[in-house]
């Protein structure tokens, strides 16, 4: 396979990130200080600190490589601008908050949880001594539920603001209002700093009262950009380009490849490793291939950050997690597929769809900037120049394309009607009405016209979950299955726990079949977790059964946190034993929109939006006698439409647990039933006994 790129089109200016890997710790304080002083931000630190001291709000546009994420919090702390309270620094992603906190803690000569700490969903590593606190934007948003004025903080830094997650957009309004209220009440001022490498500055500045903007240059390493001259499958193009670079460029230099998701990355990792073994010769560099995506544990991600061995080259296959905040030292070549997975929400049907879409120009330049951290680098785009020109300048904010029901619930918990909230970009009216209608159907509010939280809604807001999953958890005691529901919700909060690779495929299927439940994937996940937590040597057991220990361990941690929250809320634990029916009924209380009916061509029709889809190949129900009705967790569009994480459903349950369901009248009177073909006919055959 030949990859066609034009000859050198000339250099494009893009910079490398200024802070090194959070896992590579300098050997001494002298080296740490030397590194900090070498960053571009160091020379103008006084100017920035003085501007923050003078102004209530500042926008800082810092090119990649400037050191803004790691250094600015330390400068403000050293200058005492925090006034003895905490400095909050938000990141859109969990992994970025943790890794940058680790790096800053190292630079401060301490450990994480001391002066520098972090707090993310289901994990808090802070103490009474913590003054520099990294967190996800969602974590700070949840803190605002109990402290609308954010009195624990005198400085809030919103980093990577260009990513425009829903939580970030809501935070803009929350911190803006907190700042204004504190000023009116003559309280200590709240300093707000908006940071990014690229964003629509005028739009942000106007929103924050025409606040000043500071510009910070990065390191001047040139990154040459090559565009594809032909159209071909982006995966094939990425793999071909990896080996062309590896064969042609015999000097050191690692490769970072941007792909779209975990399954794609794991499959490509397996393929590239196999091809690399076939092409080994005495004179070539050894290739070491590492996957990298958000669901991986910190320990697993450390492999990608380790220094490259002599006579070797690292190839890192990553999602857009590697676009910002995280820097992998040694990257000289970037291969950009130009795609990423994005969620899209249909407010008319209430269904979220996960689909592969084109990135924006801003994202493309962010990816380009990963190359050339220590020297000039190269970026190979597997898409044409015309494709690049057709891209949007900036990514569409999540709040304009995703469900806002969770944010609406949190705002109502603050006593704010989202129709009156000061959004940077206000969601369309139909999205707001859809969110309110969903909350009404879930029982969180009484009316859409004048929304106010019910007692159930206030309890739902206390759970760090999407409203539909919060409703499921709170409904579980009534179905006598809280133990089972906490496990399933925890398993759904992470990534796939099953190893699915092309190698040893038959062994994998045989091992996984031991956990299969006839009624579907939700009970299968429950079976896996039940046995996992009985094992003393869980890692070996996971290897033997082709399961991912890190994902199961994450689920165990999430479950423990949810159990603790439920206990604090006075929710008593109960269990339905081996009967799956209460579990699926309980799932239906929150996922009532996600029902699909079997069609004559063996596809399924989603009843809420009349979309045709098929059961995902990874499902227990795929390839079996197809049930008439199924309940699915997610609709995925990756070329084909698939229903993912599916369970069999009896149609009469819909009217029983979700009488408000909008498509109740569309359900065939003769469908499903509890006849001999139903997996629920003998519940003892569905679940294994432990």
Looking at the structure, tell me whether residues 233 and 197 fall in a common domain.
no
Task: Answer with the one of 399, 425, 440 that is the final residue of a domain.
Answer: 399
Same domain, 231 and 201: no
CB 362 within 8 A of CB 407: no
Same domain assignment for residues 101 and 199: yes
The whole-number pLDDT of residue 41 equals 92
Could you tell me if residue 676 is inside a domain?
no
Residue 51 lies inside a defined structural domain of this protein: yes
Task: Identify whether 407 is part of a domain.
Answer: no
In a domain, 443, yes or no: no
* Strand, helix or coil for residue 84: coil
* Residue bearing the bigger pLDDT, 661 or 500: 661
Q: At residue 349, does pLDDT exceed 70?
A: no
Q: Are residues 261 and 383 in the same domain?
A: yes
Distance of CA 114 to the CA centre of its chain: 27
| Same-domain pairing of 39 and 94 | yes
Domain enclosing residue 468, as ranges? 463-669
Q: What is the pLDDT of residues 120-154, one digit of tens each?
A: 877 899 999 999 999 999 899 889 888 999 999 99
- Is 199 in the same domain as 260? no
345 vs 365: CA distance, rounded Å: 27
> What is the tens place of the pLDDT at every residue in 191-221?
999 998 778 899 999 999 999 999 987 666 7
Examine the domain organization and report whether 173 and 256 are in the same domain: no
Residue 21 or residue 140, greater confidence: 140
Average pLDDT over residues 96-108: 91
Mean pLDDT of 502-518: 88
Predicted local confidence at residue 173, as pLDDT: 94
Length of the chain as a residue count: 690
The pTM assigned to this predicted structure is 0.77
For residue range 537-571, what is the model confidence (pLDDT) as tens digits? 888 999 999 998 888 988 998 999 999 999 999 99
Residue 665 counted as domain residue: yes
Q: Is the pLDDT at 17 greater than 60, yes or no?
A: no
- The whole-angstrom separation of Cα 170 and Cα 418 is 10
Residue 222: per-residue pLDDT: 85
Q: How confident is the model at residue 686 (pLDDT cuts 50, 70, 90)?
A: very low
Which band of pLDDT confidence, cut at 50, 70 and 90, is reported for residue 370?
confident
- pLDDT at position 442: 95
Q: Any idea which of 91-95, 251-255, 303-307, 482-486 has the lowest mean pLDDT?
A: 303-307
Specify whether 393 is located in the same domain as 479: no
Mean pLDDT across the stretch 520-548?
Answer: 93
Answer yes or no: is 408 within a domain. Answer: no
Nearest to 298 by CA among 609, 638, 550: 550
pLDDT tens column, 662-680: 788 777 544 444 333 566 6
- The per-residue pLDDT for range 388-440, each reduced to its tens digit, is 999 998 888 888 988 899 999 999 998 999 999 999 999 989 889 999 999 99
Query: H or E segment at 298?
Result: helix 298-305
CA angle 458, 588, 443 (to 5 degrees): 25
Q: Which of 399, 432, 447 is the last residue of a domain?
A: 399
| Rounded Cα distance, 134 and 670, in Å | 55
Cα of first residue to Cα of last residue in the chain, in angstroms, is 52
**pLDDT tens by residue, 574-614:** 999 999 999 999 999 999 999 999 999 999 999 988 889 99
Among 112-126, 471-485, 499-513, the minimum mean pLDDT is found in 499-513
Q: What pLDDT does residue 220 have?
A: 63
Residue 341 structure tokens: 């997975």
Strand partners, 630: 596, 648
Tokens of 239: 């793999």
Residue with the two structure tokens 């009970």: 523
What does the block give as tokens for 325?
Answer: 């905040």
Give residue-wise pLDDT tens across range 262-306: 889 988 998 999 999 887 776 678 899 999 887 665 566 667 878
Convert 591-629 to b/e letters by CB count within 10 Å (16 or more is b). Answer: bbbbbbbbeeeebbbbbbeebebbbbebbbbeeeebbbb
Domain limit, last residue, from 382, 399, 416: 399
* Number of Cβ within a 10 Å radius of residue 649: 28
- Mark whether 383 and 512 lie in a shared domain: no
3-state secondary structure 399-419: HHCCCCHHHHHHHHHCCCCCC
Do 640 and 592 lie in a common domain?
yes
307 pLDDT band, cuts 50/70/90, is: confident
What CATH code is carried by the domain that includes residue 360? 3.40.50.300
Please provide the average confidence, as pLDDT, over all residues in the chain.
Answer: 86
Q: Around Cβ 538, how many Cβ atoms within 10 Å?
A: 17
Quick one: pLDDT at residue 623? 81
Residue 678 within a domain? no
The pLDDT assigned to 667 comes to 77
Average of per-residue pLDDT across 508-513: 92
Residue 687 lies in a domain: no
Q: What per-residue confidence (pLDDT) applies to 13?
A: 34
Residues 241 and 328 in one domain: yes
Q: Which of 18-22, 49-53, 156-160, 244-248 has the lowest mean pLDDT?
A: 18-22
| Count: domains in the chain | 3
| Same-domain status, 103 and 243 | no
């Amino acid at each position: 396979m030949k990859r066609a790129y034009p000859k050198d089109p000339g250099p494009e200016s893009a910079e490398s990130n200024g802070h090194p890997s959070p896992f590579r710790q300098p050997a001494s304080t002298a080296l740490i200080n030397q590194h900090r002083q070498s960053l571009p931000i160091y020379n103008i630190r006084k100017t920035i600190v003085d501007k923050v001291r003078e102004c209530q709000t500042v926008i800082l546009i810092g090119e990649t490589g400037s050191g803004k994420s790691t250094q600015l919090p330390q400068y403000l702390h050293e200058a005492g601008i925090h006034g003895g309270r905490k400095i909050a620094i938000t990141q859109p992603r969990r992994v970025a908050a943790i890794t940058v906190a680790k790096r800053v803690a190292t630079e401060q000569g301490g450990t994480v949880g001391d002066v520098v700490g972090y707090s993310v969903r289901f994990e808090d590593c802070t103490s009474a001594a913590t003054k520099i606190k990294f967190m996800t934007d969602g974590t700070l948003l949840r803190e605002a539920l109990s402290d609308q004025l954010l009195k624990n903080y005198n400085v809030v830094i919103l980093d990577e603001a260009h990513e425009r997650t829903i939580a970030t957009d809501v935070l803009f309004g929350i911190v803006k209002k907190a700042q204004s209220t504190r000023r009116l009440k003559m309280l200590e001022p709240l300093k707000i700093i908006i940071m990014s490498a690229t964003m629509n500055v005028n739009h942000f500045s106007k929103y924050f009262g025409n606040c000043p903007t500071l510009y910070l240059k990065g390191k001047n390493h040139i990154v040459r950009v090559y565009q594809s001259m032909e159209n071909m499958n982006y995966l094939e193009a990425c793999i071909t380009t990896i080996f062309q670079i590896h064969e042609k460029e015999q000097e050191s230099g690692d490769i970072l490849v941007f792909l779209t998701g975990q399954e794609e990355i794991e499959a490509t990792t397996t393929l590239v490793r196999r091809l690399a073994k076939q092409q080994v010769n005495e004179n070539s560099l050894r290739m070491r291939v590492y996957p990298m995506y958000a669901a991986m544990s910190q320990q697993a991600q450390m492999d990608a950050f380790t220094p490259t061995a002599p006579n070797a080259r690292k190839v890192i296959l990553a999602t857009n997690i590697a676009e910002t905040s995280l820097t992998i030292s040694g990257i000289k070549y970037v291969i950009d597929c130009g795609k990423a997975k994005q969620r899209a929400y249909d407010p008319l049907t209430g269904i979220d769809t996960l689909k592969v879409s084109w990135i924006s120009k801003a994202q493309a330049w962010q990816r380009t900037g990963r190359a050339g951290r220590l020297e000039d680098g190269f970026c190979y785009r597997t898409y044409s120049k015309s494709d690049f020109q057709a891209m949007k300048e900036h990514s569409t904010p999540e709040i304009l394309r995703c469900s806002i029901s969770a944010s609406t619930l949190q705002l109502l918990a603050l006593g704010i009607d989202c129709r009156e909230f000061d959004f940077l970009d206000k969601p369309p009216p139909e999205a707001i009405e859809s969110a309110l209608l969903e909350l009404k159907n879930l029982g969180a509010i009484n009316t859409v016209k004048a929304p106010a939280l019910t007692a159930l809604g206030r309890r739902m807001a206390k759970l760090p979950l999407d409203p539909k999953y919060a409703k499921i958890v709170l409904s579980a005691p009534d179905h006598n299955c809280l133990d089972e529901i906490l496990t399933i919700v925890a398993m759904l909060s992470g990534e796939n726990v099953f190893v699915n690779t092309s190698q040893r495929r038959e062994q994998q299927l045989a091992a996984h079949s031991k956990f299969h439940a006839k009624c579907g994937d939700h009970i299968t996940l429950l079976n896996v977790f039940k046995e996992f937590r009985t094992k003393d040597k869980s890692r070996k057991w996971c290897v033997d059964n082709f399961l991912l220990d890190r994902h199961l361990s994450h689920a165990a941690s999430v479950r423990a946190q949810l159990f603790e929250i439920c206990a604090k809320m006075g929710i008593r634990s109960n269990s339905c034993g081996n009967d799956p029916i209460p579990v699926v009924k309980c799932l239906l209380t929150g996922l009532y929109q996600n029902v699909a009916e079997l069609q004559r061509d063996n596809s399924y029709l989603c009843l809420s939006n009349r979309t045709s889809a098929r059961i995902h190949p990874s499902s227990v129900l795929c390839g079996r006698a197809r049930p008439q009705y199924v309940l699915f967790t997610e609709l995925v569009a990756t070329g084909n439409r698939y229903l993912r994480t599916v369970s069999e459903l009896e149609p009469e349950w819909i009217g029983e647990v979700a009488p408000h369901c909008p498509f109740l009248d569309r359900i065939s009177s003769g469908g499903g039933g509890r006849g001999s073909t139903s997996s629920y006919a003998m519940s003892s055959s569905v679940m294994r006994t432990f």
